[in-house]
Amino acid sequence: MPNTAKITDCRAISHAFLALHQKDGFEILEPSSLLHPSVHTAFVMSAGLVQIENELAQIIEQTGGKFAFTQPCFRYFDMDLVGKDSIHSSLFHMPAAFYIGSSQRANILPRLWHFLTKTLQLRIDKLWITYLDDPILGVDQQTLDCWKNIGIDTDRLIGLERQHNFWQQRELGQIASDGKKCGPHSEVFYERTEVNCVQCEASSAFIGSCACGRFVEISNSLFIENYIDEQGQLIRADTVFSECVIGAERLAMIQQNVATVHGIAKYSHWRAILQNYFSHQNSPQYYHAMHIIMDHLNAFMHLVADGAPKPGRGGQARIMRKLARGAITQALLWDIDINKLLSLLLSKYNHTHAEYKPEQSLQRLYDELSRFECTLKRAKKQMQKMLQHSVLTEEIKQELQQKWGLPPLLSEKFYATLSTET
Ligand SMILES: [Zn+2]
């Protein structure tokens, strides 16, 4: 690949990352589905440990322990952050490289640095690197030395405590877990100097802890060398490994010089449609709504293609419902014809994912919309009853949400219309 053209597209970034690893002897594997029989209540959330843990022996035999793939990740617990900051999506892509049997930093970090600064041509003076420096666990000296050997200035290397730079496998939500793996990790942040934040401008100590979006985490490299027991003691693992991941959408955002992950080219068709609907609004608040609609519908379609159940109660169905109703709620808040909007968006879906099923997704969204409309009708009636002798309090809002399925944002909207009608 010629090194002159800037790589900006999400898929091109992912491809370049995999190609670089392939050149160095990593086997390229297919990503795995976000549905797995052992995770009933949610979707698979790890950035690729699934593959390792389920079929480790077979994969090592097939690849010699060096492999890479681009894993779609869906994090339902990040859904509420969407639209509130510039860097969170519920569904995103993580190109990842694994090296089973080695936690040598020199096998991972120099290649990553080459990728970021030569392949993607990121400016070195925009990059910051974190490593473990903890009062109890000590300094991750191997990582620090490796970054110094690469030639990174020490003032760009930020030592952080274990809550930032020590990864520990969670007990729940993982698959075929054979213990609590753990190890230090090292993150690379890109500084967007155009994002004004008094706190972050004053000190790089806020890397990783400020939500302003000035520092964007673009990569993470984990060196898993231990298990941790019930007493918190570290036990050397029989098999050590390294994992290096990058955030494709975040890097695309930086390469395309746009303000948010929902502003990247992948969403341009959808943005154009939504801009039309929102252009008459005179409040910039609508960006928030646009981003939620794009994010949730994108995740919904991906999960449908992966075989997710219809929106409903409990487990995965509940998450599908939350995605559908989250997007619909935004459209209702802004008085948008949701039927028309859904059909426009899903017919203009600009994605080459071979198995995306826009018709099936659209049908499920329509079905969910009519169920939601019934819910809203009942909730509205109930709300009128409850408000005969009261104003809309937080308690009433909560009750309407929990017992009657009315999102608080819509109870406020209905309340405003009720008060103007009377
Ligand atoms: Zn900040």
Q: Grade residue 230 by pLDDT with cuts at 50, 70 and 90.
A: confident
End-to-end CA distance of the chain: give it in Å, rounded: 67
- 239 CA from centroid of ligand 1 (Å): 39
- 86 CA from centroid of ligand 1 (Å): 12
pLDDT value for 172:
43
- The percent of residues in the chain predicted with pLDDT above 70, rounded, is 90
Residue 56 has pLDDT above 80, yes or no: no
Cβ partners under 8 Å of residue 292, min gap 6? 82, 83, 326, 327, 330
Amino acid at 292: I
- 329 CA from centroid of ligand 1 (Å): 30
- 158 CA from centroid of ligand 1 (Å): 16
- 204 CA from centroid of ligand 1 (Å): 9
Q: How far apart are CA 419 and CA 422, in angstroms?
A: 5
Q: Hey, what are 416's tokens?
A: 């405003």
The residue ranking higher by pLDDT, 260 or 40, is: 260
- The percent of residues in the chain predicted with pLDDT above 90, rounded, is 63
The residue ranking higher by pLDDT, 167 or 54, is: 167
Architecture of domain 10-255: 2-Layer Sandwich (3.30)
- 235 CA from centroid of ligand 1 (Å): 37
- 69 CA from centroid of ligand 1 (Å): 32
Q: What is the mean pLDDT of residues 342-369?
A: 81
Q: How far apart are CA 84 and CA 247, in angstroms?
A: 19
pLDDT value for 216:
95
Q: Grade residue 47 by pLDDT with cuts at 50, 70 and 90.
A: low
- 214 CA from centroid of ligand 1 (Å): 6
- 420 CA from centroid of ligand 1 (Å): 41
- 75 CA from centroid of ligand 1 (Å): 23
**Interstrand relation of 181-191 and 215-228 (parallel, antiparallel or unpaired):** antiparallel
pLDDT value for 279:
78
pLDDT value for 209:
83
Q: How far apart are CA 347 and CA 365, in angstroms?
A: 13
- 222 CA from centroid of ligand 1 (Å): 25
- 256 CA from centroid of ligand 1 (Å): 22
User: Contact, 268 vs 350, CB < 8 A?
Assistant: yes
pLDDT value for 355:
62
pTM of the model: 0.91
Q: What is the mean pLDDT of residues 227-256?
A: 89
Q: What is the mean pLDDT of residues 89-104?
A: 93
Q: Where are the domains of the chain?
A: 10-255, 267-380
- 388 CA from centroid of ligand 1 (Å): 45
> Which residue's structure tokens are 């018709």?
359
Cβ partners under 8 Å of residue 132, min gap 6? 138, 139, 140, 143, 159, 160, 161, 162, 165, 166, 184, 185, 186
Q: Grade residue 85 by pLDDT with cuts at 50, 70 and 90.
A: confident
> Which residue's structure tokens are 């099923």?
357
- 353 CA from centroid of ligand 1 (Å): 36
What's the whole-number average pLDDT of the chain?
88
Residue 376 has pLDDT above 80, yes or no: yes
Q: Grade residue 235 by pLDDT with cuts at 50, 70 and 90.
A: confident
- 345 CA from centroid of ligand 1 (Å): 34
- 253 CA from centroid of ligand 1 (Å): 18
Residue 273 C-beta-side C-alpha neighbours within 13 Å: 21
- 418 CA from centroid of ligand 1 (Å): 40
Q: Grade residue 38 by pLDDT with cuts at 50, 70 and 90.
A: low
Question: Of 237, 43, 21, which Cα lies nearest the Cα of 115?
Answer: 21
Amino acid at 255: Q
Residue 264 has pLDDT above 70, yes or no: yes
Q: Hey, what are 170's tokens?
A: 């969670």
Q: What is the mean pLDDT of residues 393-403?
A: 93
Residue 175 has pLDDT above 50, yes or no: no
Report pLDDT digits (tens) over 207-227: 878 888 999 999 999 999 988
- Among 22-31, 231-240, 305-314, the range scoring the smallest mean pLDDT is 231-240
